[in-house]
Structure 1
Amino acid sequence: MKKGKSALVLAAVAMLLLSACSNGRTETAKENGSSGKPAEAKTETEAGTAIDPFRLPELVEVSTIKAVSPNERMPQGDTIEDNLYTRYFTEKTNVKFKYMWYASGDDYTQKLKLAVASNDLPDTMVVDERTFLELAAGDQLEDLTDVFQKYASDQVKQIYELNDGLSLEKATIDGKLLAIPNIVPKGDSFQEVWVRKDWLDKLGLQPPKTVGDVEKIAEAFIARDPDGNGKNDTIGLPGNNGVVTTDYGWNYDFKALFNAFGAYPSIWLKDGSGNVVYGSTTPEAKQALGKLAEWYKKGLIDKDFALRKNPDELVVGGKSGIFFGPWYMPFGTLTNAMMADPKADWRAYAIADDQGRYNATVVPPSSSFLVVKKGFKHPEAVVTYFNFNTRFLQTPTPDDKKLDQTYVSLRPIDLNIGDPDAVLKKHEMIKGAIEGKLTPDQLSPEMQGHLERWNKYKADPKANIGEWGPPYAYLVGGQPMADVKFNEVYSLYTATTKTMEKRWSNLQKLENETYFKIVLGELPLDAFDSFVADWKAQGGEQIIKEVQEAVQK
């Protein structure tokens, strides 16, 4: 099987994304103001029979499997197979799911592997990318190209358009749509530098724009007593004791710095010659490591970061006024910091490289795939269910809202799609409302709630400090996404090769240990070259070949 990358395949993907208005069969989705339900006109089959994208004309049974929590909660008298969600979804869609089996944790994983190996598959199921590609290579999946075009709701198609067809392209092989993919929001990809602006103002410093600015601020925060207590007790940057850097970023790791050097650890890229390389082994990654080792030697990074179990304590305790982290830090850590010091003024900024670009390793557009077994007679039932599930989550009707959300995990199939730029758009909503450019009724229900929290906090900050975090995360944590255009770098390959299955764990251990030792000064920077050679010799070279082959198909 070959992954479709040609113009022909891209054209096919584009066709999937077209509004179903071709040949005058459908109308553009419109919002029903009274119920929140998209008012979609029904499409028509070739025979002229109307298609309701949310309900089949007759009951269809569909077999599936389900991963469940070992402590799954459900109303008294309900079961995994028969509960308030399965009954409601069947009533509304005329699609009835029957479980071949369900399991938890490793038991689920092992059962799924056996089912794939023996081709004992349900009619539909959600799988990861590796399993999806394995099923596709084994010709075990139904081609959904036509059925998706005909039965997918306008709402579903419009959501997929939001990430420029990347998700549908990821599910397309040899020009055939072989799965319905999820959409992964990319807001968490953009690691920012959080800084106490009140400390900047006190010391006469400007907000950071570059790696050099971060260095100067860290030096000043250590040496110039920004908290004014007359003690030499402040530090520069906290670190993460689990990783130096990652593909998509953890709290307190240094991914933003690596990206500012044009380095993209833990993902697959092409070098200047068009050859596949692993981002943790590039010259740019070595440069970034050198800068970190320099910072650590100068004392700009917490000297105990490799051992410290909870770097939050430095921020919450007022010892650090600058750190790398994602937009959502106010949800927990910074709320606690504000409770300890309500006068702190935390701001978030993006860091540019030496050419003024804002680079970011971006999460894959999709990670889960709803597949249909080849030969299943009613694939339209799966698409109909997916239409309803999407509407249920995105624009619930009054009836939908009556269901107890405590038990939403009991839905037969759990695969979600949404706006990949949701964080940015929510930022724009709450900022617009606070500035008076939008009225509360122009906000989504979620953002109306956050606006209420913000207004409550502003009315009495001391009494309502607990309301500060969520709206502030969108308002300020989302600001860098509005201020700059990120150079979004995606991994060429996000599945697993045969050699990865055997060698990847050891290779990751080698990488993490080497990175830490270089930063801590236990190894010289030139040890990076030996690491790259060892990494290749211990399986990396073969993995590169396998990835190269996979991305060329």
Structure 2
Amino acid sequence: MNKSWRKTTALWSVLMLGMTAMTACSSAVNKEASSNASQTQAVAIADDAIKAGKYEEPVKINIVRQMTSDVKFRDGEDINNNPHVQWAKDTFNIDLNYLWTADSSAIDTKIRLILSANEDLPDIIQYRGSQDVVDALIDSGKFAEVGDLFDKYAGDAYKAAMAEDETVWYPYVRDGKRYALPILDYSNNNDTVLWIRDDWMKKLNLKAPQTIEEMEKMMELFTSGDPDGNGKKDTVGLAVGLKNGMNTWGLADADFLFGAYGAMPGQWNLDAATGKLVYGSIGPEVKTVLAKLKEWMEKGYIHKEAGLHDEGKAAELFSSGKAGIVAAPYWAGGWPLPAVKEVDKNADYSAYPLPAGPDGKIGRSKSGTGNGVVLINKDFKHPEAFFMYANLLYEQQGNPQAGSPFEYGFKEGYDFMLQDGKPVWDGDKFPADKPLMNVEKYTLLFDGARIPSLVMKTMSDLASGKEPATAFEQKQSREPDKNINAGAVNYSQREYAMPNLYIGSPTKTYKKRWDFLNKSEKETFNKIIYGGSPIDAFDAFVTQWKASAGDTITEEVNEWYATVQK
């Protein structure tokens, strides 16, 4: 009896196990079939939407976004209730749904918390911040490889804009694949031109320098020739800030001097002979420039506290009437340089091309084209929705032509008004209860569609006498004349702009040793310039830099560079 019971029980157990396995298998098959069907349906919906330019049924995009201080709304409106959200709904039948937003001080923490908690992530993250956070998002494995999506869905105008600077992809490439969409900005925006006091040149019978040698003669007279006419020796030739390095973000920079000798410190440059990246602060040309800066310090051409001056403090020398030359971006003609007229009503200044070095070289650091990213959740069923949206902006809003729905802006009464048939963008002319709103700041692209080369090219055209025809040209023509002319100077020397080609994630050794190396570099360079160390201290610095992990970092940087070149 017991044996028979055990046999029966065993038989039932086998049968039950088999039925369980069959059920599990059937469930898995059904689940896979359901997933395949859902995917097939999503593809069909995408194809239909792309052909029609609009979804038949609403498609919701759940978004997390970083907010910047320039994003403002009218009373009663917010990020989920504004003309741009309504436009997306009317145009594409896309519901933009911002789950939450955070400012620059809070978003990094919020993103890290949701990643560590393994919480559900939005369809799109719109972010402008540290590379470390972007790395964490990519490394989570929850975001789509967007390179194939871009190749498949991006329109011609969008692709053309992105192709102007392929390096914008570099920080987001992993094993040859692209995992975030770069947000484009206007290129060369912070590249330096040479601003010079025209009234001082006229008084001293000088012309704008075309070479460093000619510039030195000018600095001598600006320093000792009493150009401000106050009978005191209280002016310097060049306003330059060295506190934060030899090559910073453009204002009161020294990059042009290094460029004149074929160097560019503080960044990674391409060695044409080897095709490898080299760190720009350790080349032999840098030693020559440091000796030149030391000479200028000794002669009083630069302020004795230049090593303590940051970019803003150094620029104040020019705007306070105490310096005759400053290297700064084109926009400096609108700020901060005009302040000089408050101390000298007869002061005048203009932008001029950067001077050439003894071998005819000209150079400056190139400001980046990328300014933020969009990451797309790999589980989002309709990633094509983002590209439909972005394509239209690049086709019609980035450089709107006559008749474009974006010719003057997103919405009349918000970012433009029409008076007597002509556009008005002056915020002072808007009613107090309905102020001017920068609707492009609401977009998934942060500032609307930006074609990198467009601003400087437009400035060049306007400075050459072209009458503004398009709305974009009309807007740019409202810039101060000095800025327009400076933009043209910038554009004329764009071939000399030297980009920093290492814009990826910090390497393993870089994270450990870079702070030490950077501190050593600043201390050594400033001691040389101030005469506290002999010029040969540079050679000792290079030897120490290479031995103190610099060579290892260089190897790691080039390993990374090889991956993004594929």
Give the TM-score category using the shorter length: 0.7 to 0.9
The aligned counterpart of 1:243 is 244
- Cα distance change, pair 279–201 in 1 and its aligned pair in 2 (3 A): same
CA distance in 2 between counterparts of 1:293 and 1:528 reads: 13
CA distance in 1 between counterparts of 2:90 and 2:291 reads: 61
Distance apart, 1:188 and its partner CA: 3.1
Determine which of 392, 415, 425 is the counterpart of 2:457.
Answer: 425
Contact 1:61 1:98 in 2 (8 A): yes
The aligned counterpart of 1:254 is 254
CA offsets per residue over residues 262-318 of structure 1, 9 Å max, x none?
Answer: 111121134454554321222222221121111101211112333457334432333
The aligned counterpart of 1:317 is 320
- Cα distance change, pair 490–45 in 1 and its aligned pair in 2 (3 A): farther
Distance apart, 1:259 and its partner CA: 1.3
Contact 1:45 1:51 in 2 (8 A): no
The aligned counterpart of 2:187 is 186
Q: Partner of 1:261: helix, strand, or coil? A: coil
TM-score, normalised relative to structure 2: 0.75
- Cα distance change, pair 231–410 in 1 and its aligned pair in 2 (3 A): same
Written as runs of structure 1 = structure 2, the 5 A alignment for 1:226-241 is: 226-240=227-241
The aligned counterpart of 2:388 is 384
- Cα distance change, pair 482–86 in 1 and its aligned pair in 2 (3 A): closer
Contact 1:168 1:180 in 2 (8 A): yes
CA offsets per residue over residues 37-88 of structure 1, 9 Å max, x none?
Answer: xxxxxxx999985736863333111222112358974333334444443333
* Residue 546 (structure 1) aligned with residue 560 (structure 2): no
The aligned counterpart of 2:123 is 123
The aligned counterpart of 2:144 is 142
* Residue 491 (structure 1) aligned with residue 523 (structure 2): no
Distance apart, 1:330 and its partner CA: 0.8
The aligned counterpart of 1:439 is 467
The aligned counterpart of 1:355 is 359
The aligned counterpart of 1:329 is 332
- Cα distance change, pair 205–502 in 1 and its aligned pair in 2 (3 A): same
AA matched with 2:112: K
- Cα distance change, pair 501–165 in 1 and its aligned pair in 2 (3 A): closer
Contact 1:450 1:470 in 2 (8 A): no
The aligned counterpart of 2:434 is none
Distance apart, 1:255 and its partner CA: 1.0
Q: Partner of 1:65: helix, strand, or coil? A: strand
The aligned counterpart of 1:459 is none
The aligned counterpart of 1:203 is 204
Q: Partner of 1:401: helix, strand, or coil? A: coil
Written as runs of structure 1 = structure 2, the 5 A alignment for 1:68-217 is: 68-69=67-68, 73-116=72-115, 118=118, 120-127=120-127, 131-132=133-134, 139-145=141-147, 147-161=149-163, 163=164, 165-167=166-168, 176-217=177-218
CA distance in 2 between counterparts of 1:517 and 1:473 reads: 36
Q: Partner of 1:370: helix, strand, or coil? A: strand
Gaps of 5+ in 2: 1-42, 401-405, 416-436
AA matched with 1:321: G
Which structure has the bigger radius of gyration?
Answer: 2
Contact 1:241 1:307 in 2 (8 A): yes
Q: Partner of 1:51: helix, strand, or coil? A: helix
- Cα distance change, pair 175–506 in 1 and its aligned pair in 2 (3 A): closer
- Cα distance change, pair 78–49 in 1 and its aligned pair in 2 (3 A): closer
- Cα distance change, pair 367–312 in 1 and its aligned pair in 2 (3 A): closer
Identify the range of structure 1 (62-71 vs 258-267) with the bigger mean alpha-carbon deviation.
Answer: 62-71
Contact 2:239 2:317 in 1 (8 A): yes
The aligned counterpart of 2:35 is none
Identify the range of structure 1 (350-359 vs 139-148) with the bigger mean alpha-carbon deviation.
Answer: 139-148
The aligned counterpart of 2:306 is 305
Q: Partner of 2:61: helix, strand, or coil? A: strand
Q: Percent identity?
A: 29
- Cα distance change, pair 353–511 in 1 and its aligned pair in 2 (3 A): same
Contact 2:194 2:328 in 1 (8 A): yes
The aligned counterpart of 1:515 is 525
CA offsets per residue over residues 490-510 of structure 1, 9 Å max, x none?
Answer: 223112223333443443333
Distance apart, 1:109 and its partner CA: 0.4
Alignment length (residue pairs): 485
The aligned counterpart of 2:8 is none
Note the aligned Cα RMSD (angstroms): 3.5
AA matched with 1:349: P
Contact 2:222 2:324 in 1 (8 A): yes
Gaps of 5+ in 1: 1-43, 454-468
- Cα distance change, pair 279–59 in 1 and its aligned pair in 2 (3 A): same
CA distance in 1 between counterparts of 2:409 and 2:52 reads: 18
Distance apart, 1:485 and its partner CA: 5.6
- Cα distance change, pair 150–537 in 1 and its aligned pair in 2 (3 A): closer
- Cα distance change, pair 133–367 in 1 and its aligned pair in 2 (3 A): farther
CA distance in 2 between counterparts of 1:545 and 1:116 reads: 31
Distance apart, 1:482 and its partner CA: 4.8
Distance apart, 1:378 and its partner CA: 0.7
Determine which of 474, 482, 485 is the counterpart of 1:448.
Answer: 474
CA distance in 1 between counterparts of 2:53 and 2:292 reads: 55
- Cα distance change, pair 550–415 in 1 and its aligned pair in 2 (3 A): farther
Q: Partner of 1:355: helix, strand, or coil? A: coil
TM-score, normalised relative to structure 1: 0.76
Q: Partner of 2:143: helix, strand, or coil? A: coil
Contact 2:83 2:411 in 1 (8 A): no
Q: Partner of 1:243: helix, strand, or coil? A: coil
